[in-house]
Structure 1
Amino acid sequence: MHYSTMATPAGSFTAVVDDDGAVLASGFTADPTDLIALMHPTLVADAKPEAHLGDVTRAVKSYLEGDLTAIDDVPVRQHIGGTFIAHAWRVMRDIKPGAPVTYTAFAELAGRPEAIRGAASACARNAAALFVPCHRVLRLDGSLGGYRWGLPVKRWLLDHEKDPAA
């Protein structure tokens, strides 16, 4: 397991990846232990710092430079929760940049329109922020709701995706 931290306009961003390059956890923190604590115990191993994580680092830099789909194909490996949450994380990756959805719409996209709380739980339990874009899910009234890494970060991400040239 390897990790790297980079500076972004939204603050420090750290990714933890497996030896095969799959993101195990990521978020807007400079402390990899914040991320490792979110990971399923079966995924945790000794984490080694790296200056560059190959495709993962390139994808994040491209995203920050305006290629909002650069993060779409980065492999992610998470294990928490039941089958609905795992399915919801896959569905979340299909929410397009600049087109956020409500928790209600997200539950519908995930095939369980009555599972609004389950959809919210999938967002809250997501350990791979940015790559599994829980920041693209909003409250029914369009307000931000919560975000593990802070509402200013969520606002920055949404604004960046609305106008990446700004």
Structure 2
Amino acid sequence: MIEAQVLPTPTGPLTLLSHEGVVVAAGFTADPHQMFLRLPSRLQAYGLRRVEDLGHPAQAVRDYLDGELTALDSVALTQPGTPTRQRLLTALREVPAGTTIGYAELAERAGLPRTAARAAGAACAQNLIAPFVPCHRILPSAGGFGGYYYGTPVKQWLLTHEKALAQTSVL
């Protein structure tokens, strides 16, 4: 069974989906079914049920919101993708909170040539586990916030939250 929990956040509800204790999807929506439909059919075959508390993943979100910016890093997760996409997703998880990089740099960090910036953008666009896989930390080289599946106001809130807390922890 895929278990779902919806958590309140300052930028709107965050839905977490978990299978056997591993997060398989997360996103800023109040509708678990919306996230469920983005899962591969092999996971959809398990069905979906709402639960009161997913345990560690839910606590990690609360801790992150309370200022522990590395809390999401300890959560087990999995999502589908080619070996190249998996390298990009791993590199995404290694971008520290409070910092941003461009798509070309993400590709470089994944050990891919600079020309793979387009693949980096596609990996971000198809990311099923926001903010655990922090695609919000990737910005276009032309400036601005770029796109974000859950809207640029959510991306902006996440970046502002992280930057403010990262700066205070350095002081």
Q: Give a deviation string over 1:20-58, Cα, whole Å, max 9, x none.
A: x11100000000111112212222221111111100010
Give the CA deviation at 1:77: 1.0
Query: The residue matched to 2:17 in structure 1 has which SS?
Result: strand
Tell which deviates more after alignment, 96-105 or 62-71. 96-105
Which amino acid counterpart does residue 24 of structure 2 have in structure 1? L
**2:45 matches 1:39:** no
Name the structure 1 match of 2:52.
Answer: 51
- Which runs of structure 1 show a deviation greater than 4 angstroms over 4 or more consecutive aligned residues? none
Which blocks of at least 5 consecutive residues in structure 2 are unaligned? none
Aligned position for 2:88? 88
TM-score calculated relative to the size of structure 1: 0.95
Residue 98 in 1 paired to residue 98 in 2? yes
Q: Higher helix share goes to which structure?
A: 2
- Provide the secondary structure at the position in 2 that maps to 1:72: helix
CA RMSD of aligned residues (A): 1.1
Is 1:133–2:148 an aligned residue pair? no
SS in 2 for 1:4: strand
Q: Is the 8 A contact 1:102 1:142 kept in 2?
A: no
Q: Distance in 1 between matches of 2:38 and 2:125?
A: 11
SS of the residue aligned with 2:4? strand
Residue segments in structure 1 that go unaligned for 5+ positions in a row: none
Give the Cα separation in 2 of the matches to 1:90 and 1:40: 19
- Between 107-116 and 54-63, the greater mean CA deviation after superposition: 107-116
Q: Distance in 2 between matches of 1:33 and 1:91?
A: 28
**Count of residue pairs the alignment pairs up:** 163
| Alignment deviations for residues 94-117 of structure 1 (CA, whole Å, 9 cap, x no partner) | 000011101111111111121010
